[in-house]
Amino acid sequence: MKMRWKVAVFLAVFILDVLCVKAMYKSYINTKDTLFLPADAGADAKDEVKEQFSGSKQIALTFDDGPHSVYTPRLLDGLRERGVHATFFLLGENVEGKEAIVKQMQEDGHLIGNHGYSHVQMSKESVNTACEQIEENNKQIEAITGVRPQYLRPPYGAWTDELSCTTNMTVVLWNKDPLDWKTQSTKKIVRSITKHIEPGDVILLHDVYPTSVEAALEVIDTLTKQGYSFVTVDELLID
């Protein structure tokens, strides 16, 4: 009886050893082409490996349509507590009466961009009308912050090369859209972002919904534990 027990234990240990060795070999095969570069590897290849294994996973949280009198301050408080900077594309018609909130954004180190004066599809407007909207919003933001916006996000992401009035601005779109305005569900927004996140992503949210603010802060807490860091879009573009 004792002999059978010893044999069973020996076989179990042997099988575990074999499985561990196979797992280690598979990991080696999967990484050897990047981990073990030849001595004459180019700078680009070395930078790629350095980025891959340095733990640098930057993403940008961006918020459109604000400021909101209640939800934007709540978001700013949460970002400040977490030491996170975000990018806000302000809608001109929502700025009036909320100048203190815009000023707080600037003081907290967030990037402030232009989202037009009203939420219209600029590509369907005349060039003059679109340019006037952009310029009007630029002027009011500059009057509050002392800084002229350099980044523009057109509503609906609709943009054409004909809108040459803003050639001195950088148009910023996005590549992750959890449709927060549609679902207005904190749980769904968080799941949509965290399930498909990748380094370098620009996430589109709106700080005019309580569910979006709650989701943004939960996403920060979740992804920070996974090694992600949050930057403004200009920092992401520079890097």
Q: Helix 127-145 and helix 99-107: axis angle, to 10°?
A: 70
Active site residue 64: yes
38-to-28, 41, 49 alpha-carbon distances in Å: 16, 5, 12
Provide CB contacts within 8 A for 233, sequence distance 6+: 60, 62, 87, 111, 113, 151, 172, 202
The alpha helices in the chain, defined as continuous H runs, are 2-35, 43-53, 71-82, 92-95, 99-107, 127-145, 180-183, 186-196, 210-225, 233-238
Q: Is 47 a catalytic residue?
A: no
Looking at 47, 64, 68, 108, which residue is catalytic? 64
Q: Which of 65, 110, 206, 207 is catalytic?
A: 206
Which are the catalytic amino acids? Answer: 64, 206
